[in-house]
């Protein structure tokens, strides 16, 4: 038992010693990270920044070179034009003379006037600002600006002075086209002393200041403005935009209310869009301005007849025309016969037969009116005359034959 106790005591001591030992944290080395993607990204960003900076500096230098080259080319062209003008002046003068002006003395050389072809441009817009005191045009008028560019070679002076006042032409929004000078035989160069850079710049400024622009204001009358609006309406109608065409035609009618053609077309566009009231009102307003317009009356009568209003259409055509108008009288006679108004029908066809006796349609209409008026013999003659003159359809011919047969049966 003693041995067993000893063993047990030893085991208990070992357990106590192991339990009392403190716990210590183990040291673990961190795993190394892969930094290659970060380095690659940094290199790419630096390369992009460097490339952008180089491109920007290169474009700035290239733009400066292009601007400088353009300025040199423009100065060269102006100088060449000036030399050509001087040579042409030298050809036209009997005794050419060129004077160099020193700082203490100025001797300008007078030359003849060289005029270039006049360039005119018309701008069909109101002149907005020419001077501060310019008045705006009235609503019913439009202003046309005609710009004329004339080149006059004035006195030419070469001066070595540091300053020289230049009168520049007023800015005008136009494009002036220069005509090329006529080709001539080569002349000997002028014997002059070499000029400095400042002198050549002053000569080019003098040549450019020779161009003068003159503005002429022209007011268009109502008829011209109406024509412009009518042309716009026609183009809009061809493009299939009837709404814009109506707007332009309304403007044309406002400018020129008595224009029958524009009013008829405006009414037709209204009617085509289903706006019957506007179409009728447009024609009626024209008749209020001039009641003797037969074309407007005829158009209004046809419109009312299409709307199943024959009596209203006949009332529009109730007035006899002062001059012959076959379409007006034919519509008047047809509506009168449709409404059994024999008096108006007979008067209409009598006038048609008198003015156009070689049209069988009018003889047939007169025959119907005479037959209804119980004038059978005259009606038979009118029917026969209609067959002789022709210009009637086969159906009308059959109708005339039936009426002649009916008249013969009545007499028999």
Give the domains, in start order, of the chain with CATH numbers. 220-321 (1.25.40.10), 324-411 (1.25.40.10)
Give pLDDT, residue 119.
37
- Of the candidates 125, 262, 258, the one whose C-alpha atom is nearest the C-alpha of residue 247 is 262
Q: What is the pTM of this model?
A: 0.49
Q: Are 390 and 384 in contact (CB under 8 A)?
A: no
Give pLDDT, residue 339.
93
Q: How far is CA 219 from CA 104, 174, 230, 368, in A?
A: 52, 19, 18, 58
pLDDT digits (tens, 9 = 90+) for 78-131: 455 544 454 544 454 444 433 333 333 344 433 334 344 333 333 333 333 333
Q: Are 352 and 326 in contact (CB under 8 A)?
A: yes
Q: How far is CA 118 from the centre of its chain?
A: 25
Give pLDDT, residue 134.
35
Give pLDDT, residue 56.
75
Q: Are 342 and 361 in contact (CB under 8 A)?
A: no
DSSP label of 156: B
Q: Are 366 and 346 in contact (CB under 8 A)?
A: yes
DSSP label of 159: E
pLDDT < 50: residue spans in the chain: 66, 78, 82-84, 86, 88-90, 92-141, 145, 147, 149-201, 203, 206-209
Cβ burial 313-348 (10 Å sphere, 16+ → b, else e): bbebbeeeeeeebeebbbbbbbbbbeeebbebbbbb
The average confidence (pLDDT) of the chain is 71
* CA gap 45, 215 in Å, rounded: 60
* CA gap 346, 360 in Å, rounded: 15
Give pLDDT, residue 93.
40
Task: Give the number of C-alpha atoms closer than 13 A to the C-alpha of residue 177, restricted to the C-beta side.
Answer: 6
Q: Which two tokens stand for residue 134?
A: 């310019």
* CA gap 368, 329 in Å, rounded: 16
Cβ burial 15-30 (10 Å sphere, 16+ → b, else e): eeeeeeeeeeeeeeee
pLDDT digits (tens, 9 = 90+) for 257-308: 999 999 999 999 999 999 999 999 999 999 999 888 899 999 999 999 999 9
């Amino acid at each position: 038992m003693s041995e067993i106790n000893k063993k047990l005591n030893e085991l208990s001591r070992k357990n106590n010693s192991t339990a009392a030992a403190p716990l210590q944290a183990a040291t673990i080395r961190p795993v190394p990270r892969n930094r290659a993607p970060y380095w690659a990204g940094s290199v790419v960003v630096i390369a992009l920044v460097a490339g952008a900076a180089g491109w920007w500096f290169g474009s700035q230098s290239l733009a400066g070179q292009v601007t400088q080259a353009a300025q040199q080319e423009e100065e060269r062209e102006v100088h060449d034009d000036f030399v050509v003008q001087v040579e042409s002046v030298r050809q036209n003068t009997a005794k050419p003379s060129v004077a160099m002006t020193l700082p203490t003395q100025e001797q300008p050389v007078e030359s003849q006037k060289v005029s270039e072809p006049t360039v005119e441009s018309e701008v069909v817009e109101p002149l907005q600002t020419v001077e501060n005191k310019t008045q705006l045009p009235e609503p019913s008028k439009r202003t046309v600006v005609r710009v004329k560019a004339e080149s006059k070679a004035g006195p030419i002076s070469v001066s070595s002075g540091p300053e020289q006042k230049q009168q520049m032409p007023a800015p005008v929004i136009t494009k002036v086209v220069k005509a090329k000078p006529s080709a001539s035989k080569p002349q000997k160069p002028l014997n002059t002393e070499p000029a400095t850079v400042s002198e050549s710049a002053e000569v080019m400024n003098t040549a450019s200041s020779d161009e003068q622009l003159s503005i002429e204001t022209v007011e268009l009358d109502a008829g011209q403005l109406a024509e412009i609006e009518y042309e716009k309406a026609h183009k809009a109608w061809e493009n299939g935009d009837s709404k814009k065409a109506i707007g332009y035609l309304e403007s044309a009618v406002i400018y020129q209310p008595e224009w029958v053609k524009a009013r008829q077309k405006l009414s037709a566009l209204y009617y085509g869009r289903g706006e019957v009231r506007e179409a009728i009102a447009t024609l009626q307003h024209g008749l209020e301005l001039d009641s003797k317009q037969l074309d407007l009356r005829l158009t209004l009568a046809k419109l009312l007849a299409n709307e199943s209003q024959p009596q209203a259409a006949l009332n529009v055509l109730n007035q006899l025309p002062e001059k012959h108008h076959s379409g007006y009288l034919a519509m008047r006679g047809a509506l009168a016969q449709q409404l059994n108004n024999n008096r108006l029908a007979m008067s209409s066809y009598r006038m048609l037969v008198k003015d156009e006796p070689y049209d069988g349609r009018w003889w047939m209409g007169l025959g119907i009116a005479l037959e209804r008026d119980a004038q059978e013999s005259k009606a038979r003659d009118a029917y026969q005359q209609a067959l002789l003159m022709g210009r009637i359809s086969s159906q009308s011919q059959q109708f005339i034959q039936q009426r002649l047969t009916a008249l013969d049966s009545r007499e028999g």
